Amino acid sequence: MNGTDARGRGLPKALIAAAGALALALACGLLYGAAWLLIGADGQCDEPKGVERLARISAVAVPPPPAGANPVPGASGAECMDDSGPEVWLSAATYYTYDGGPRAVIDHYWEAAAAAGWKAAGPRPKVTPGFLLKDMCFRKEVDGKPTLLVVAYSARNEYSVSVNAVLDGSRPDC
């Protein structure tokens, strides 16, 4: 066998592999397109249903931050995440700084969330000096769909309070 024969045989294998990959890509694209047409685009962020539900989540009244808290400029907002798996997450968050410490934040939201109809989704979080060790999570039905209120510590006395839901109305986890 000479060098020309080896190259001659290698080329068809490469072409066959490339053609197979192209056929697989086209088949996947056609399957995705067919599923889109059959199932519909329901459950995507940019659809009217997603935009409408996000607006409702953004309007949910949340307990106010503790007295003395300061909003973080430009950090608050709402978003829809449809690229994080099968569930489309909706979230509206407010960020603020607070020098009163995590124990005061826990005490404040534990009482304020309950007064606003939110139910704790777990035990009262513990703190270590200066740090909230676990996010606080509360549940409530909003427009007949399960919704979460999550209070989290990020850093440098900064906290976030977010309202979260899944677009399809399934029960989201804390």
Instruction: Quote the tokens at residue 110.
Output: 């534990």
Is the CA virtual torsion 105, 111, 112, 114 positive or negative?
Answer: positive
Say what the pTM is.
0.70
Give tens-digit pLDDT for 88-109: 888 999 999 999 888 899 999 9
What is the share, in percent, of the chain residues with pLDDT greater than 70? Answer: 72
Give tens-digit pLDDT for 104-156: 999 999 999 999 999 999 999 888 776 767 889 999 998 888 999 999 987 77
Is the CA virtual torsion 101, 105, 108, 110 positive or negative?
Answer: negative
Longest Cα–Cα distance in the chain: 85
The mean pLDDT of 14-32, rounded to a whole number, is 31
Residue 23: pLDDT band with limits 50, 70, 90: very low
Size of the chain in residues = 174
pLDDT the model gives residue 53: 81
In terms of phi and psi (left: phi > 0; alpha: psi -120 to 50; beta: otherwise), the region of 143 is: left
- The upper half-sphere exposure of residue 142, i.e. CA atoms within 13 Å in the direction of its Cβ, equals 28
Residue 9: pLDDT band with limits 50, 70, 90: low
pLDDT the model gives residue 158: 92
Residue with tokens 């978003």: 79
Instruction: Quote the tokens at residue 137.
Output: 């999570």
DSSP assignment letter at 42: T
pLDDT the model gives residue 87: 78
- Residue 35, pLDDT > 70, answer no
**SS3 label, residue 49:** helix
pLDDT the model gives residue 32: 29
